[in-house]
Structure 1
Amino acid sequence: MLDKLEMFIAVAKEEHFGRAAASLGITQPSLSAGIKQLEDQLGVKLIFRGSRFGGLTPEGQSALEWARRIVGDARQLKEEMRFKRHGLSGRLRIAVIPTALTWAAELSMRFSEKHPNVRFTILSRTSIEILSMLENLDVDAGISYLDNEPTGRVSTEPLYEEKYMLVCALSSKFAARRSVGWEELDGERLCLLTPDNQNRRIINKNFAAVGVMPEAIIESNSTVVMVANVETGRWLTVLPEDMARFLTTGKSLRLVPLKGREPAHAVGLVAPYREPHTPVLAALLAEARRMSAMS
């Protein structure tokens, strides 16, 4: 039944039989047959469907929660047995908000030094995508905001609080300043992250707190693109301090602290809530705790 539950989770996630089959590496007829067998075993209809996916039935919504739990438990069992035989090993899949990628690199480096048999896959995703990926068992953990959007039933370890910096060229009128108020960026040529990123929504709140509606002439989901535009001398951008320092090292750019009334926002490691965690995930949470204590 386990393989049928994974098929069901994939269909619920993709909301499309063809895409779900492709994600699992099987044919669509095999997927449809597997879902039908699962429905027969459970004695209920899980999916509304005619010629295409029509959504989950009420029974399907309930079954999805059980499916995720059962598949998650089965994977945890495999991890426990691998730990018994080989110690900490395997692959950790982590989804990370774009502005925290430097912290993901530091966390994976520290962890790998202690546990060299663990491999990492690190993906850049928005905070909403991270929660969805955790829910659908697509990743083992995430690094995301802890206090600005609902995170659901998860285990968390705070890593740091974001402090925002204005990034500008040396020729900018702000370059010689010791700090800049958010309100002073009203009407300036800004290059910011796209609105689907939580960082952008937080930045918008900071502007709103001082009565400013920012106009981002360039929007991108890449912090590299943002800094490259600032290098031309025609644009300004706003980034968290750690990411700003990493991206501007060796470049003719200036970082100026932004001052305002909005509180800092906590960013940390997020993992599905389980007691106990797999040995690998428990060790990752412990390493994040150590990093936070040192920062």
Structure 2
Amino acid sequence: MLLRQLEYLLVLSRERHFARAAQACYVSQPALSEAIRKLEEEFDVPLVRRGRKYEGLTPEGERIVVWAQRILADRDAMKSEVAALRTGLSGTLRIGSVPTASGAVAQLTAPLCAAHPLVTVEVTADLRAEDVVRQVQGFELDAGITYLHRELPDSVRTIPLYEERYVLLTDAADASAEHATADWPQAARLPLCLLSPAMQGRQVLDEVFAEAGLEVSPRVETDSVAALFAHVRTGRWASIVPHTWLHVFGVPHGMRALPMTGPTHAMPMGLAVAAREPGSVLARALADIARRTDVTAALELVPSGAGHT
């Protein structure tokens, strides 16, 4: 059994199409099919359900994909650790985050890159919370930033980073902006643009509204926090956004950001990495940065001259 054969099977399970998988692996389709056939001979079981087109993996194929993810991740981790001993930490760190936390990613990647000049970073933002965990478990990501208010699988280790609070973002000319704070009934009466229902950040808001006996029907929904700011800028909508994004954008000119009260709500956010030893050397380096960085204090800083809170 060759590692290359496991790579081909892993890509086929992701692409779900022989031609696309072959293209992604930079080989011909017959070469990919032959490699997987040899893997089936090695295990003496069919791994792919074949018809006139790709029809999915067999149960045995699905289990081997899980093992392939682990084996290939360990191979990559071993190569990275040996290289780090020789020339220092290098390679590409893959990190993902839920939309509301994507503004906090730089609080970790900046010190990581400063400490390790040969490391590059690939950030995938706007992921659903379950996708962050799934991709960390499947070694598609080295680490992710997500919500910690619900118990995560034992296969994932977490490091708390900060607590997410919420502000009402509204046009400065709106009557709501005259107050120093906003409450949830007041927000529910406004024309709102919010995250999409599938996003956990939206589900958190729906839970808070429900706790206050309220139900909202936003006119605009999106999977991007930046898009929320853009819609509020038009003056037609208001939104509820995490306070951490004020650290990124400040309070844009012509807007007000009012802390939400009654009930107050804070969501624990943290870094998630695979709970395996020795694991990815890049993930270990990022986890070390996370333990030594006061992310909470950094995110409380709002750029001056950017508007009024």
Q: Same fold judged by TM-score > 0.5?
A: yes
Contact persistence 2:126–2:223 (CA under 8 A): no
Cα shift at 1:149: 6.8
Secondary structure in 2 matching 1:30: helix
1:264 and 2:266 equivalent? Answer: yes
Deviation digits for residues 25-77 of structure 1, max 9, x if unmatched?
A: 33333322221111111111112221223233222232222111111111111
Contact persistence 1:179–1:256 (CA under 8 A): yes
Q: What residue in structure 2 maps to residue 56 of structure 1?
A: 57
Secondary structure in 2 matching 1:51: coil
1:133 and 2:135 equivalent? Answer: yes
Amino acid at match of 1:87: G
Q: What residue in structure 2 maps to residue 287 of structure 1?
A: 289
State how far apart, in whole Å, the 1-side matches of 2:284 and 2:11 are: 27
State how far apart, in whole Å, the 2-side matches of 1:26 and 1:260 are: 59
**Deviation larger for 163-172 or 152-161:** 152-161
Deviation digits for residues 207-255 of structure 1, max 9, x if unmatched?
A: 1212222111111222222111111211001111011342244422111
Q: How does 1:3-152 map to 2 (within 5 A)?
A: 3-126=4-127, 127-148=129-150, 150-151=152-153
State how far apart, in whole Å, the 1-side matches of 2:9 and 2:255 are: 50
Cα shift at 1:166: 0.6
Contact persistence 1:9–1:67 (CA under 8 A): yes
Cα shift at 1:94: 0.9
Q: How does 1:151-170 map to 2 (within 5 A)?
A: 151=153, 153-170=155-172
Q: Please, which runs of 5 or more residues in structure 2 have no aligned partner?
A: 298-309
Deviation digits for residues 146-173 of structure 1, max 9, x if unmatched?
A: 2247456112111111101110111112
Deviation digits for residues 176-221 of structure 1, max 9, x if unmatched?
A: 2222221222242111112232111111111121222211111122
Aligned residues: CA RMSD: 2.1
Going from structure 1 to structure 2, the CA distance change for 1:183 and 1:15 (only over 3 Å counts) comes to farther
Going from structure 1 to structure 2, the CA distance change for 1:245 and 1:216 (only over 3 Å counts) comes to farther
- Aligned match of 1:213 in 208, 212, 215? 215
Going from structure 1 to structure 2, the CA distance change for 1:203 and 1:115 (only over 3 Å counts) comes to same
State how far apart, in whole Å, the 2-side matches of 1:57 and 1:168 are: 52
Contact persistence 1:94–1:140 (CA under 8 A): yes
Q: Please, which runs of 5 or more residues in structure 1 have no aligned partner?
A: none
**Count of aligned positions:** 295
1:223 and 2:225 equivalent? Answer: yes
Cα shift at 1:104: 0.8
Secondary structure in 1 matching 2:257: strand
Contact persistence 1:224–1:247 (CA under 8 A): no
State how far apart, in whole Å, the 2-side matches of 1:117 and 1:213 are: 50
State how far apart, in whole Å, the 1-side matches of 2:115 and 2:75 are: 27
Q: What residue in structure 2 maps to residue 175 of structure 1?
A: 177
Going from structure 1 to structure 2, the CA distance change for 1:34 and 1:157 (only over 3 Å counts) comes to same
Cα shift at 1:284: 0.8
Cα shift at 1:86: 0.8
1:200 and 2:202 equivalent? Answer: yes
Secondary structure in 1 matching 2:186: helix
